Chain A
Amino acid sequence: MDMRTTRERDEPGARSTRGELDGLLEQVALGDAEAFEALYEQIAGVVYGLVRRVVRDPVQSEEVAQDVLLEVWRSAARFDPGRGTAFAWVTTMAHRRAVDLVRSVEASRAREQRAVHEIAHDDVSEAVVDRLDRERVRRCLDRLTEVQRASVKLAYYGGYTHQEVAGLLKVPLGTVKTRMRDGLIKLRDCLGVVAE
């Protein structure tokens, strides 16, 4: 049982960045291209990295990443701060598009075969950005149980549905659903992130 009580959130850097992002997005909504450039500097690494991880194909990943960033510009005024952070808004958009693409282009057999490598995936450390944030998330992920972590990672990075995850991990569907939720709650609490 994990006896650590220190929360991973007690690191200033990432926090202030997050608040800044919301402000930048507000400016972007008013057509401020400089604000958009600053916002790009902060989120492009996550957007591109996430899309690349899910979609895998470099050319397609670039296209999707570009689409997402343009959509951020286009619909900045539609962002509702009452529903969460700008960061979550952007990454939700990126993740959805990446998942939709990978599911439409990959036949299910190919996806099952890929899953074998997915479970044991080792991230390539090329051009890593946001090292502090990266380490925080990894430490928090380490606090999840095996099934929680595997379910969350297969779903998020692999783009698998919960039914597929249940099949891959050989656990009942109900179990996967609960583990996903519990895993995310644990992650949320460890990172100390709130929607408002």
Chain B
Amino acid sequence: MRVDVHTLAGPYALDAVTSEERRAFEDHLRSCPSCEHEIDGLREATARLGHAVAIRPPAYLKQQVMERITETRQLPARRNPGQRPSARPAGAHQGRRPITTTVAMLTSAAAMVAAFLAVQADYRADLADRRTQSIAAVLSAPDARTVNGQKATLIVSRSRDAAIFTGAKLPRPPSGQAYQLWLLAPDGSPRPAGLLQSGPYVVTALGDATHLAVTVEPGGGSALPTTKPIDRIPMT
């Protein structure tokens, strides 16, 4: 059953759709920020419809609810607070190809990154600006290369002295913990290279590091790895 998504905005906002239609529409919303924005606006209207039928609940309802919350665990926020990425535009801006050409020429990893940026740009303007610039700098570098690790992918540019890490196959870390990145020197010694948040992460100041590793660490990060790497990607 083909669902013509664009005409379903009104019904969807009113929950006047079947579960199948709802799923299809929500799939669509994930890739259509302007549709999502429209729905958000329509929802503010439907929300007010509740006012027309509001009535005082029985007094014991409050008592029951207040009691129950004392034994109800709260979910944490989706993202790890962790460290903000200290992304700075990496390297000089010489030898820059137009970003669209570059994206077409690189692997699907870069396409994922570009798609991510297109969505993020709408919602996280200030953070994405710095990260976007850094990512664009790497993607447009003439020597940008993709390396696939076991769980994640790196797009490395030595001329920009930076690499984009996209961990598409990483599950959410255990509660209170985070993924930490490490740059490994030629002798194998690790130095901290940032804590992962959602979306691509730009690792800068590669120096003479030969590999990038990922470990699970306590939420705030560690000075040295405390667990074995879950991935170790060469950056040659």
The range of chain B's interface size is: 35 or more
Q: Is B118 an interface residue (CB 8 A)?
A: no
A75 at the interface (CB under 8 A from B): yes
Q: Main SS of chain A's interface residues?
A: helix
Which residues of chain A are within 8 angstroms of B224 by Cβ–Cβ distance?
none
- Contact across chains for A194 and B41 when beta carbons are under 8 A apart: yes
A171 at the interface (CB under 8 A from B): no
How far, in Å, is A140 (CB) from chain B's closest CB?
8
Shortest CB distance A114–B (Å): 16
A178 neighbours in B (Cβ, 8 Å): 7, 10
Judge whether A108 is part of the interface by a CB distance below 8 angstroms.
no
- B15, B48, B123: the one within 8 Å of A82 (CB): B123
Contacting residues of chain B (114-164) with chain A, CB-CB under 8 angstroms: 123
* A183 & B10 in contact (Cβ 8 Å cutoff): yes
CB distance from B23 to the nearest CB of A (A): 13
Cα A46 to Cα B77 with chains together (Å): 26
Smallest beta-carbon distance A185→chain B, Å: 7
Closest CB of chain A to B72's CB: distance in Å? 6
Using a Cβ cutoff of 8 Å, how many contacts connect chains A and B? 204
Report which residue of B41, B43, B51 has the largest number of chain A beta carbons within 10 angstroms of its beta carbon.
Answer: B51
Interface size for A (C-beta < 8 A) is: 78
**Known contacts A29-B74, A70-B68; is-contact A181 B10 (Cβ 8 Å):** yes
Q: Is B223 at the interface (CB under 8 A from chain A)?
A: no
Q: Would you call A191 and B45 a contact (CB within 8 A)?
A: yes
Cβ contacts under 8 Å, A76 to chain B: 74
B47, A180: Cβ atoms under 8 Å? no
Q: Which residue of A lies closest to B42 (CB)?
A: A184
B17, B49, B58, B75: the one within 8 Å of A77 (CB): B75
- Is B75 touching A49 in the complex (CB atoms < 8 A)? no
Contact in complex: B73, A49 (CB < 8 Å)? no
Scan residues 63-86 of chain B and give those whose CB is less than 8 A from a CB of chain A: 64-66, 68-70, 72-78
Return the contact of B77 from the options A47, A50, A77, A87 (Cβ within 8 A): A77
Would A83 and B40 count as touching, CB distance under 8 A? yes
* Residue picked from A83, A130, A134, A156, most chain B C-beta under 10 Å: A156
Q: Kindly list chain B residues whose C-beta atoms are within 8 Å of the C-beta of A83.
A: 36, 40
**Given A73-B74, A134-B52, A191-B48 in contact, is the A180-B11 Cβ separation under 8 Å?**
yes
**Known: A136-B51, A137-B51. Contact between A162 and B17, CB under 8 A?**
yes
Contacts A45-B57, A49-B54, A179-B10 given; 19 further ones with Cβ under 8 A? A29-B77, A31-B74, A36-B66, A46-B54, A50-B50, A77-B76, A83-B36, A91-B47, A92-B46, A123-B53, A130-B54, A133-B51, A136-B51, A137-B51, A141-B49, A156-B14, A165-B16, A181-B10, A191-B45
A-B contact pairs, 5 of them (CB 8 A): A36-B66, A140-B48, A180-B11, A188-B41, A193-B47
Binding site for A on B (CB under 8 A): 7-11, 13-18, 36-37, 40-58, 61-62, 64-66, 68-70, 72-78, 123
